[in-house]
Amino acid sequence: MFYKLLRPILFLFDPEKIHDLLLTCLAIWHFFSINFRQKKCHVTGQVFGLHFPNPVGLAAGFDKNAKALLAWQDLGFGFIEIGTVTPKPQAGNPKPRIFRFPKEKALLNGMGFPNDGIEKVVERLKRAKPKLKIPVGLNIGKNKDTPNEKAVFDYTKCIEVANPYCDFFVLNVSSPNTEALRELQNEKYLPHLLEECVALSQRPVLLKLSPDLLEEELKTLLRISMEKKVSGFVVSNTTANYELLPNSKVGSGGISGKPLFQTSTAQLEFVKQHSNLPIIGCGGILSKEDAEQKRKAGADLIEIYTGLIYEGPGLVRRLVS
């Protein structure tokens, strides 16, 4: 109720500035919080070899730089995915680069992997790790100035640095916000990339999928992924299908939120039918009913991002219960 009253005020300001302010407030709130801790709930159990206290996770992109890890745990999340992180720090695309569409309960994100770089992010993760009781995944990508021919070295660099400190890796080759990144999903690059990352990693390696793949492209990607022994999938990333916001002025970037729900859920069901690997369902979850549809489609775990913006932190507890 409180968040519904506060949201119209928050939405008067630039989305990225509010986002950064929220992360700062969360970190401060956790520092002074001593009584509010994770609610006891049913145990999800083992997924790709890890224990999850509940199936609701924070999607990558919300806490790119691992600034509020313990606060997310306190809010009731069963796991966290930080990033996307690249080997070198980078500023990302020019601002403004996040846009709200309140009527559609959607966001347009054209961030372009702004982050503090793997070394600094891992330092924060290292400090928080002793107090974390939930799995933390690290979403990794390539720097903007790294050509695709050398992209594998960016991904393996991140894995090498973070291996001791995170619980699983998610390879982001599907963001629409870095030029030519999605080419890494094709047969020219993907087999070698997966082979090198899986061989180096001491943790499960997941692949995050684009919802814009054609059926035959998706089948090929799934075949390669299973041949190269990935541990699971995140379904899905944001979409570049701007027809999902037909009555809005849309810039470049990826669409998330309610308009993505049907597309990402259909892809989730397809992946479940054509692979035997665990799946994290992500895309357009704004209610318990949405979460249940993801689970029925085949999700072992779920993640939220845009739902948190429109429904507030209480959404976590509603989904867990």
Are 46 and 78 in contact, with CB atoms under 8 Å apart? no
Domains of the chain: total: 1
Count Cβ atoms below 10 Å from residue 4 Cβ, excluding itself: 11
Q: What is the pLDDT of residue 22?
A: 77
Return the structure tokens found at 252.
């470049």
Question: Which pLDDT tens digit goes with each residue over 113-162?
Answer: 999 999 999 999 999 999 999 999 999 999 999 999 999 999 999 999 99
What is the structure's pLDDT at 185? Answer: 97
CATH number, residue 133: 3.20.20.70
The reported pLDDT for the residue numbered 5 is 79
How sure is the predictor about 4, in pLDDT bands with cuts at 50, 70 and 90? Answer: confident
How far is it, in rounded angstroms, from Cα 89 to Cα 114?
7
Tell me which amino acid residue 99 is: F
Calculate the average pLDDT of the chain: 93
Written as one string, the DSSP assignment of 156-220 is HHHHHHHTTT-SEEEEE---TTSTTGGGGGSTTTHHHHHHHHHHH-SS-EEEEEPTT--HHHHHH
Closest by alpha carbon to 94, among 108, 112, 107? 112
Given this model, what pLDDT does residue 36 score?
45
Range of the domain at 73: 2-320
**Mind listing the pLDDT tens digit for each residue in 5-33?**
788 888 888 899 888 887 777 777 666 66
Position 38 pLDDT exceeds 60:
no
What pLDDT sits at residue 1? 62
- pTM value? 0.95
When pLDDT is averaged across residues 24-44 and rounded to a whole number, the result is 60
pLDDT at 35 over 50: no
Q: What is the pLDDT of residue 131?
A: 95
Q: Distance (Å, rounded) from C-alpha 222 to C-alpha 207?
A: 10
Q: In angstroms, rounded to a whole number, what is the distance separating the alpha carbons of residues 18 and 301?
A: 28
Q: Which residue has the higher pLDDT, 19 or 220?
A: 220
Distance CA 158, CA 86 (A): 7
Question: pLDDT tens digit string along 67-83?
Answer: 999 999 999 999 999 99
Average of pLDDT values for 215-242?
A: 98
Nearest to 83 by CA among 154, 153, 148: 154
Q: What is the pLDDT of residues 250-307, one digit of tens each?
A: 778 999 999 999 999 999 999 999 999 999 999 999 999 999 999 999 999 999 999 9
Of the candidates 130, 208, 131, the one whose C-alpha atom is nearest the C-alpha of residue 168 is 208
Residues annotated catalytic, as ranges: 175
